[in-house]
Structure 1
Amino acid sequence: MRYHNITKDDMKNGDGLRAVLWLAGCEHACPGCHNPVTWDAAGGLPFDQAARDELFAELSKDYVAGVTFSGGDPLHPQNRDGVAALSREIRARFPGKTIWLYTGYLWEACRGLEAVRLADVLVDGPFLREQAVSTLHWRGSANQRIIDVRRTLAENQLVLHAE
């Protein structure tokens, strides 16, 4: 798994103050994407122990609500196993923190992936420039859904997260 950056004190990519891990690799190549530098799966840096330590140091702060996986696409085939493993570790070490995951895949196509099932919230769907709305909360275009993964799995029907 490769990454470009770890953003600290982020308030735009999920509920509360968050740490954001910007992963490398995206197959969607959405026109108008705000982060095309992350598309190259070979770009960025290896997610090594120093990066893990940096992320965990941020998550250990009481005022940080959780982690957001973005990119690129955390569900790019080269990221799936790494994001799932990191999510399991975060769940074990920081049980009170939430996990948000942004992906260009639709819920219907990715709901069975372990990384998705470990998330609390999934923002799904490709960015569509023709549906872009700058005032949307936690998403870039109107087609993207903010899914409450825990409730969706428990109720066996799609439940949107309250904005």
Structure 2
Amino acid sequence: MHYGEIKNCDIANGEGVRVTLFVSGCTNHCEHCFQPQTWDFDYGQPFTSETEQQLLDLLAPSYIQGLTLLGGEPFEPENQRVLVPFVRRVRETYPQKTVWAFSGFTLEELRTEGSHPRCEATDELLSMLDVLVDGRFVEALKDISLRFRGSSNQRLIDMKKTLASGEIVLLPDLDRKPGQA
């Protein structure tokens, strides 16, 4: 797996101050994607054990709330296979921190046997997430007032509650504007 960028102290891609990993490779090719260079699976640098350690070190400060995975596409099968052991290390080292992932695939696609993104690593990766932001970016549904997503079809899914209940549970109140009740 390759990655295009690591951001430290990111506040745009999940709640709180986060460390963000932009993986490379995406077959969705959403029109008006904000990072089309990350569609190339060889874009950026190789994800190595040194990269893993760098990310773990960046996650150490108490003011860092967690890790966010995006891209590119974290749920391309070849990316999932690399991310699962890494996210497992993050969870073991920092059980109090949250893990978010952004995917152009919907949760339904990720769970459907035979679909492109589903592989032997999918269920474990999903089980380690706190939040999944799912769905392709759709220009016609673009809404800059939404937090943590670009178009209104995308969902902020509470993965712990979703896995516990068996039904999709969305995060509450993230789009409330200041001053709204």
* Bucket of the pairwise TM-score, normalised by the shorter protein: over 0.9
1:63-120 CA distance string (max 9 Å, x none): 0000000000001121011111111110001101100000011111114532122111
Q: Does 2:97 correspond to 1:87? A: no
Name 1:66's counterpart in structure 2.
Answer: 66
Alignment of 1:1-163 (within 5 A): 1-111=1-111, 113-162=123-172, 163=174
Where does the alignment leave 5 or more consecutive residues of structure 2 unmatched? 112-121, 175-181
CA distance in structure 2 between the partners assigned to 1:91 and 1:124 by the alignment = 21
TM-score, scaled relative to structure 2? 0.87
How far does residue 124 in structure 1 lie from its aligned partner after superposition?
0.3
8 Å contact 1:41–1:78 — kept in the other structure? no
Aligned CA RMSD, in angstroms, stands at 1.0
SS in 1 for 2:109: helix
CA distance in structure 1 between the partners assigned to 2:63 and 2:108 by the alignment = 33
CA distance in structure 2 between the partners assigned to 1:141 and 1:73 by the alignment = 17
How far does residue 137 in structure 1 lie from its aligned partner after superposition?
0.3
CA distance in structure 1 between the partners assigned to 2:163 and 2:49 by the alignment = 32
Matched length: 163
**Percent identity between the aligned chains?**
37
Partner letter of residue 133 of structure 2? V
Q: Which moved more, 1:80-89 or 1:17-26?
A: 80-89
Partner letter of residue 169 of structure 2? V
Partner letter of residue 6 of structure 2? I
TM-score, scaled relative to structure 1? 0.97
